[in-house]
Structure 1
Amino acid sequence: MARPKKFDPDEALGQAMALFWAKGFAGSTPQALGTCMGIGRGSLYNAFDSKRALFDRALERYRDRECAPLLAILAEPGPVKKRIRKLLLTIVETDLGDPERRGCFGVNVAVEMSAQDEAARELVTALFAQTTRHLKAAIEEGQRTGEIDTAQDASTLASFLLNSMIGMRVLGKVEKDDKRLRRIVDTAMNVL
């Protein structure tokens, strides 16, 4: 008979996500993961198979719990440009409000791992593609309503906004206040 698990796997996954987000894959040793999750190494591997499998699940959790609410802003009622501005400003406020200045877990993974790790690159590419699809859908809506010029390609604008968001997430790790980031938001909105 198998012994019952003495920890909550969902809570443990949340703790692992926080450590990977703050320390990266390389900086999150199995020992540190076990400590932050409140479990032993054996339990970690029994529950999650490997450090890498745990990392992949943590990145998926980030997508579902952190990215999805941000992207949901684009589906709110009201003018499209206001929703896009709200998304960008929410990123600024979130990043500057984080005392650890972790930035975006997806961007961090792209910088740390994507050059050497195909699986990590695929996970981040999928995350960025999801964001781009949501941005493109909002832009196309804005073009249908006349808020955004139809002469501009929606895919290109969505990629431009994604690029702006990624840059803002990196700058948000080091900026002392929001002035520069808000100017970037204003510039991005002027392009639309």
Structure 2
Amino acid sequence: MARPKQFDPDKAVDQAMEVFWRKGYAATTPQDLVDALGIGKGSLYNAFDSKHSLFEQALRRYRDSQALALIEMFEGPGPVKARLGKALRFLAEMDLADPDRRGCMAVNVAAELAGVDETATELVRRMFDRTEGAFQALIAEGQRAGEIAPERDPVALGSLLLNTVVGMRLMARVAEGPDRLARVIDAVIDSL
């Protein structure tokens, strides 16, 4: 008779996400995961097959929890530029308040594994594509509302905003305070 699992695999993915987010993929050891999850190595491998398989699940969990939160902010009430500014300020404040200065897990994974790990690269690419698409939709909404000039290219502006967010999330990891990020946010909103 098989022994029942002594841990919640769903909760374990959340805990593993925190470890990978803080340390990165390469620096995270199986022992780090065992310690964080409070399980034995055998249970870790029986439940998740490999460190990489658990990493993929953790990256998907990040995508589902973090990236969707940004998109939900875009869908709130009020003028488009105000919603966009609010979302960007929220990201900056969240990153600066994090004592570990983890930044964005997707940005970190792109910096660490792009071109090396096909699966991770594709997961991050799709996450960026989804975020960029949300920016494009927000720009188009702003154009329909008369907030953003209709001749501006929503695809180009969506790419600019994605690049801004990626840069901000990376910059926040080393920022001494909010001033530089606030200037970036103000400038990008003014540029629309």
Instruction: Determine if the alignment matches structure 1 residue 180 to structure 2 residue 185.
Output: no
SS in 2 for 1:26: coil
TM-score (norm 1): 0.98
Which residue number in structure 1 is paired with residue 125 of structure 2? 125
Kindly report which structure 2 residues correspond to 1:161-180, keeping only aligned pairs within 5 A, or say none.
161-180=161-180
Equivalence for 2:63: 63
Name the counterpart of 2:37. Answer: 37
Tell me which residue corresponds to 2:23.
Answer: 23
Instruction: State how 1:1-192 maps to structure 2 within 5 Å.
Output: 1-192=1-192
**CA–CA separation in structure 1 for the residues paired with 2:2 and 2:70:** 40
By how many angstroms is 1:171 displaced? 0.6
> Secondary structure of 2:151's partner?
coil
Q: What is the CA–CA distance in structure 2 between the aligned matches of 1:117 and 1:63, rounded to whole Å?
A: 17
Q: Secondary structure at the match of 1:174?
A: coil
Shift of 1:6: 0.5
Work out the percentage of aligned pairs sharing the same amino acid: 51
Unaligned runs of 5+ in 2: none
TM-score (norm. length: structure 2): 0.98
Equivalent position SS for 2:71: helix
Deviations 1:40-72 (A, max 9, x none): 111111111111110011011011112211221
In the alignment, the residues of structure 2 paired with residue 12 and residue 119 of structure 1 have an alpha-carbon distance, to the nearest angstrom, of: 21
SS in 2 for 1:6: coil
User: 5+ unaligned residues in a row in structure 1: which ranges?
Assistant: none
Following superposition, the deviation at residue 190 of structure 1 comes to: 1.1
Q: Deviations over 1:122-161 (max 9, x none)?
A: 0110010010011111110111111111111001000000
Match of 2:28, SS? Answer: coil
CA distance in 1, matches of 2:6, 2:165: 40
For 1:125 and 1:67, the matched residues in 2 are separated by 12
Q: Helix, strand or coil: the match of 1:19? A: helix
